[in-house]
Amino acid sequence: MAVRHGRPLPRPVLRPHPYFDQPTPLLFAHRGGSREVVENSRAALEHTAALGLTYFETDVHATADGVVVLHHDESLDRMTDTTGPISALTWAEVARVRDASGHAPVRLEDALADYPTLRLNIDAKSDDVVAPLLAIARRHVARVCVASFVDARLARVRIEAPELATSMGQREVAALLALSGLPRRVGVATGARLAAVRSAHCLQVPVRHRGVVVVTGRMLGFAHELGLQVHVWTVDEPSEMRRLLDLGVDGLVTDVPTLAKDVLGGHDPR
């Protein structure tokens, strides 16, 4: 938390949404904690729930028959005993696949049903997955935030399901970063007129991108004035976690949620 004249400043009031009704800073298990368990797997869901965490960051693709599956890559090659793109297989075929934990890939529908304490931050990995994803997510508004690097994909989500929480796309974030460098009043006034700012709820960004520092105190203050939370990925070192928490970020996305939970539990916001 920022400090002025020796006293901590109160956290800003950010845009309300039931998905974000937990006290900040939030802790997101990245793919369920991919340095601690097989990523995006049923074991990862079990791991996150067992830690008592609320937020599970994941990715989704659609099968040939439109079933939404938790999986990062377009293909099954890296994480399972099968090769080829998920989109070329039906769910019945994908259900016979096994990952390194011995389980089949998880349907989004099952993840939400079987782990009711978890809220999912979902990266929509293709245009084809958007429609079936929204059909499910609209039944779980308080438990789903949709993310994507692709601005057009997020714009479609906001038009078709405006009740859902969304993060901001790559170009949207770049525009905000540019505006944050302007004089404060000008930047905030201009940013407040952007469609993405009026409808999104958070930025999910790396600490640095191509050598440029993204997460600064100025950027955080700017985002907060616009009512946006700032979540930072992927943060796995305790010293970096503490530095970012002291800076005032609203959430950490980490591959080591067990470690991050300990760091967050011992963090003094003053």
Show which residues are catalytic.
30, 72
**Rounded to whole angstroms, how far apart are CA atoms 174 and 53?**
30
Give φ, ψ of 180 to 5 degrees. -65, -20
Q: What phi and psi, each to the nearest 5 degrees, are found at residue 137?
A: -60, -35
Query: From CA 199, how far away is CA 178, in angstroms rounded?
Result: 19
Within 10 A of 148 (CB to CB), how many other CB atoms are there? Answer: 25
DSSP string, 217-266: HHHHHHHHHTT-EEEEE----HHHHHHHHHHT-SEEEES-HHHHHHHHHT
Beta pairing, strands 119-124 & 55-62: parallel
Are the C-beta atoms of 175 and 203 separated by less than 8 Å?
Answer: no
CA distance 236 to 250: 16
Burial 79-110 (b: 16+ CB within 10 A, else e): bbebeeebbebebeebeebebebebbbbbbbe
Q: Which residue has the tokens 């599956």?
A: 69
Q: Are 60 and 74 in contact (CB under 8 A)?
A: no
- Cα four-point dihedral sign 199, 202, 208, 213: positive
